[in-house]
Structure 1
Amino acid sequence: MPSTPRPLRKLGFLTISLFDEADPRRGHETTLEIIELGERLGFDSAWLRHRHLQYGISSPVAVLAAASQRTGRIELGTAVIPLGWENPLRLAEDLATVDVLSGGRLNPGVSVGPPMHFDRVKEALYPDTADAEDFGYGRARRLLDLVRGEPASGFSGTEGFEVFSDRVQPHSPGLGSRLWYGGGSLGSARWAGENGMNFLTSSVVKAEGPDGEGDFADLQLALVRAFRAAHPDGDAARVSQGLVVIPTDSATPEQRAKYEEFAARRLPRTTSPQGPARLLFAPDLVGTSAELAERLHAHAAFREIDEVAFALPFTFAPEDYVQILTDMATHLGPALGWKPGV
């Protein structure tokens, strides 16, 4: 472990962006306003969670297309798109289109695995091919190849008045190096490294190892090291950490009480691995920026990364997000060695 943590180079935030079913536009508009605020505050990146058949953003790529036209500098990411719901060829076209519109600012994060509640949605999602679909790493490999310009067709050239390409169009050359894999297991970390992706590690990891136990920070550190050991870039390979971090420097007493109650309610799930997958959750961090910086500098995994996308709690009000993001940019980021983008 390094004697001192790396200075924080990139500060980002992640939002789930809920909306009211009766007024979905307002929720989506609030998301765009939060991204605009993030750019004004100097954040390096804004990331959207992905939710299907819920009251959250089901199409983050479409929302980020809108965000690309209302911002000019901040990077725009997804954390993460579950590829079990996607056709890799069509997704590659959408990602490349938004990347071109954004001027090369898109950072797509993806994951693999069967869609959530697959038995309940498979008739609508894959009525004819549900049993044949590949929900493993092969699906991510297809997306990687297509985004990076590998052939998608055996034909190119002119047919009548139309011109055809054998690869995804538009082709955005830099996008292939900005693809992220969101993983919580050692296998996922190694696969992402071997395939030259960047790695997103969140507030959830799998409790792996001989006894299936361990401190969250140590388990997350093992993922970071496994990823970099497998990546061609080694220690320079990009890793972003996505803990729930809530600074309270300018919070009202009512906000501080709300934040502390939120973290306390979720604390029991952090004491031991949860469910058949043995998922271990990180405690939410709430406090002043000085307190948070001290806790993060002591976090084994944080000490070896220099990018973060701190997750915003999904049940808070817009004014809470304004306070949290403002404190992140003006107090917490600088306390971690970060300088705002311009």
Structure 2
Amino acid sequence: MSGSRITFLEGQAGQGAALERIAARVRTRLAGPEPAALRTARRPLFTGIGASYAALAVPVQHLRAAGVVTQRVLSSEIETGTTGFDTDCLIAVSQGGRSCETLAAFQRATPGTTKTALLNVAASPLGDLADLTVDLGGEPDSYASTIGYTGTVVALDLIAGALTGRPDTEDPWRRIAERTTAVHRQAIEVIAGLRERGARCIAADAVAAGASRASAEEGALLLREVVRMTAAASVTRNYLHGEMESAGNTLHLVFGDGREIELARSLSGAGHLTLLLTTADVEAAGQLAVVRLPRCADAVRVVLETVVLQELVAQLSAERGVPIESFVFANDDTKEGGLDMADFEVAAFSPEG
């Protein structure tokens, strides 16, 4: 687990300042001599499970755009080893470093592959197996992750920047606290206008392309684990090929500036509640709610999209009377050493307190 547990709402409130700290820490770590093998990797393979896997869409998109051969894969798919993957550097993400599937992937990685662990807690079973660790500094986090997830996105972008030799002048994280505060303020107002209708929806679809696939996947996960709403994530072009036909008393989260705008208008025009997160000048109307994001780097955009998602699930859980941290299932085979029941002891509070 992280250094200590905080509530979901505390995570929201302290997120901007925490991301500033994380960015500074990871920059310093990557500038040192130890990450040389990471900076010179030519075929990185990213792995994780759950929210960590979702976050990996960010560096994969960045690196592919720069011509680097890479992909992300669920840790459970390489528990038996990395044979069949052309990689010289396996980069695994696990906040607490105890995810069983990710540990198995490291244990069975092809000899000679540099094993890099991105963690919140450096002293961990995964950290012990790694050739190199990059950590967020043991930031306190909520059980349904807030700071831990967005901090991971920040760190992954900085790692991708190190792999591509991005100059310091192009570092996109200098104003992240200011930006998260501004977007959160807007999200509170926009979501307040749809929370009653949204809470009555029976399911949700989250749709995006590129790096924002991380947001769609994280959004679906948060709706499932916080709001207990059935939710799925889809890629924009695939969603158009039949998946959208099941719309009906559903909430639609659409991320993007291209085909996503027309998609959002089509869904809302057919009477389906839709929240569009875009940098484009799109007006809200009827069943269409809009959060306008600033133009920024893809990774920063994903963090800002996540800020909106966190506010969405906080308000919907309150409207539905579901305590945010009241998890139903405690699977004891997903973490090395079993579950730490202290993770469940932090009291949950509704947005109204």
TM-score (norm 2): 0.24
TM-score w.r.t. structure 1 length?
0.24
